[in-house]
Amino acid sequence: MSHRTTADFIGTWRLLEYSFVHDDGVVERPWGAEVRGYLLYTPEGYMSGNLSPARDWASRRARLAERFSGASNLRAAGLTGRNPRRDYIAYSGRYSVEGDTVTHHVEVSLFPNWIGRPEVRYFQFENDRLTLRTPPIKVGKHTVVAQLVWQRVRG
């Protein structure tokens, strides 16, 4: 793998896929096959991400709640609390690159508990695509990795 810097990220990226990859190999698309979103990285070192499902969320929320049963696990999956519907994700802040990770240093967010916390993502570039993966997240009996695939927007 070649050494990447913040310069490799600069630009606008369109969301192609949002999925959960479970430790048992199951790939789940909590928002369905159609998603919308943009991820922006600036030369000044700031990033902004906004993403959502392209279709109705209600039926997907019920399936997620069933899969991630248990109150603490539902909170971890973003399905309870003041905003139980994680049908829109928005946050911004500075970003840094080290090794095979990009860290989003969250300064503003739709989810108050994200503010001030680093969101670490493992990255992989392939042509004009950028894949970001979370570290493994323990949810109930499962370990899940959230995976987002982005396409660079040209002119």
Q: Specify the pLDDT at position 14.
A: 98
Q: Where are the domains of the chain?
A: 6-152
Q: Specify the pLDDT at position 140.
A: 85
Q: Specify the pLDDT at position 43.
A: 98
> Which DSSP helix (H) or strand (E) runs through 64?
helix 58-67
> Minimal CA–CA distance to 106: which of 83, 88, 123, 89?
89
> Residue 116: helix, strand or coil by DSSP?
coil
Q: Specify the pLDDT at position 87.
A: 84
Structure tokens belonging to residue 153: 């927007």
Class assignment of domain 6-152?
A: mainly beta
Q: Specify the pLDDT at position 142.
A: 83
Q: Specify the pLDDT at position 17.
A: 97
The residue ranges of the chain whose pLDDT is under 70 are 1-2, 56-86
Contact indicator for 47, 39 with CB cutoff of 8 Å: yes
Contact indicator for 15, 26 with CB cutoff of 8 Å: no
Show Cβ contacts of residue 113 under 8 Å, excluding neighbours closer than 6 positions. none
Q: Specify the pLDDT at position 82.
A: 43
